[in-house]
Amino acid sequence: MIFLELIKVQSAEVDTPKLKRDLWALVQDELKASKLTRSHIFFRVEIPGEAMVTLRWDVAEFDPRGSRLGRFLVSELKKYGLVTYSVWAENQDLVSTDSP
Domain boundaries of the chain, sorted by first residue:
2-91
Long-range contact list for 42-49, CB < 8 A, 24+ apart? 43/16, 48/14, 48/16, 49/10, 49/11, 49/12, 49/13, 49/14, 49/16, 49/19, 49/81
Over residues 33-50, the pLDDT tens digits come to: 677 888 888 888 888 888
pLDDT digits (tens, 9 = 90+) for 46-88: 888 888 999 998 888 888 899 988 998 899 889 888 999 999 9
Helix and strand element counts for the chain (H, E): 2, 4
Please indicate, yes or no, whether the overall pTM of this predicted structure exceeds 0.85: no
CATH 3.30.70.100 fits 2-91, yes or no: yes
